[in-house]
Amino acid sequence: MSNPVLVEALRGALTESRHRGAVAVVDADGAAVLALGDVGQPVYPRSAVKPLQALPLVESGAADRYGFGDEELALACASHGGEPAHVEVAQRMLARAGLDAAALECGAHWPSHQPSSQALARAGGAPSALHNNCSGKHAGFVCVACASGVDHRGYVAADHVVQREVRAVIENLTGVGLGADVCGIDGCSIPTWAVPLDRLAHAFARFGAGARMGQKRAKAAARIRAACAAQPYYVAGTGRFCSEIMKRFGARVLVKTGAEGVFCGALPEQGIGIALKCDDGATRAAEVAMAAMIARFLPMADDERAALDRFVRPTLRNWNGIEVGGLRPSAALTVVPGDRRETRDP
């Protein structure tokens, strides 16, 4: 059994490429709202769970101790573009704990934000671990260790107290026990534990609603959500999907991308969580699928719907700026059973 086609890439009169995948939408009680494809299959969430991975930063008291505000907490949830402002906040987080880039164990890479990358090259610079898209999350991990009086060195290892805490949070919110059999190593060297999509969606429903968890965790979740809503630029960067969506919808939507076509999100007012994965790992398709889910489940004004449309149906342009095609969500994502507006032949 293969998963359904979620997104099509059109060119000329033909469908050029197709992205299959699975989508789970679940409420805070764990009830399925929508299930497309195999939502029980364990999926490495990668960076899509960064908002959950940031909970220990608040719960441990580290965020308060180091005086972190919205920018720092948003960056702790980020896969950022390595823009100067991102780098500066990561550096500041480490400085508050008396450390610098040398404490980061995520590795270095050039900024994904092209103008920042070119500016760095133009200045004769080279990327450091601060430019790594995960540097905010890692700075947060380092601060958790320092605030807890634990040696931060080796904080990326699965058996370090920081990663054990992170795992416990994810186990608690997903309701899934996570063992070595479902553990992979992420791009930034920390463990990533595979979790069924429907359980990830449930975790995000709970995280978004602050429901079915202790008061302390609910308060920490609310603070992280508020930080992302207030400073969405720090969650991704200029022109990026997560930042643009949260800039537009504020606290009504939390979205977070992950590598290999994963996307997680929450619609707090609707009390639902969303988790999806494109089988092939394509980010372009995961973004369209997430945009389609927001269009489907979030009540919104006409101007908001118009603004969202460029993410639901993005245009593809070539190097001369000519429109050559576009991405489109498939009927599996957009056709609501029994909804006559969406059916072609009522």
By rule CB under 8 A, what count of residues binds a second copy? Answer: 54
Quickly count: other Cβ atoms within 10 Å of residue 82's Cβ.
24
Kindly state the smallest distance separating residue 17's Cβ from a second copy, in Å: 4
When binding is defined by CB under 8 A, the residue of 181, 302, 303, 345 that contacts a second copy is: 181
Quickly count: other Cβ atoms within 10 Å of residue 69's Cβ.
12
Question: Is residue 2 at the binding interface for a second copy, with CB under 8 A as the rule?
Answer: yes
Cβ-based nearer residue to a second copy, 191 or 208 = 191
Cβ-based nearer residue to a second copy, 65 or 109 = 109
Question: Is residue 16 at the binding interface for a second copy, with CB under 8 A as the rule?
Answer: yes
Binding segment for a second copy among 57-65, 66-74, 222-230, 274-282 (CB under 8 A)? Answer: 274-282
When binding is defined by CB under 8 A, the residue of 33, 158, 182, 251 that contacts a second copy is: 182
Kindly state the smallest distance separating residue 121's Cβ from a second copy, in Å: 4
Question: Is residue 268 at the binding interface for a second copy, with CB under 8 A as the rule?
Answer: no
Considering only residues 154 to 173 of the shown chain, the ones binding a second copy according to CB under 8 A are none
- 8 Å CB contact between 48 and 290: no
Kindly state the smallest distance separating residue 192's Cβ from a second copy, in Å: 8
Here the tokens at position 258 are 């992950």
Question: Is residue 280 at the binding interface for a second copy, with CB under 8 A as the rule?
Answer: yes
Q: Residues 163-185, buried b or exposed e (16+ Cβ, 10 A)?
A: bebbbebbebbbebebeeebeee
Question: Is residue 216 at the binding interface for a second copy, with CB under 8 A as the rule?
Answer: no
When binding is defined by CB under 8 A, the residue of 279, 294, 296, 329 that contacts a second copy is: 279
Considering only residues 91 to 110 of the shown chain, the ones binding a second copy according to CB under 8 A are 105-110
Cβ-based nearer residue to a second copy, 99 or 183 = 183
Residues that bind a second copy (CB under 8 A): 2, 9, 11-14, 16-20, 42-44, 105-110, 114, 117-119, 121-122, 124, 132, 181-189, 192, 194, 260-261, 278-282, 285, 318-322, 324-325
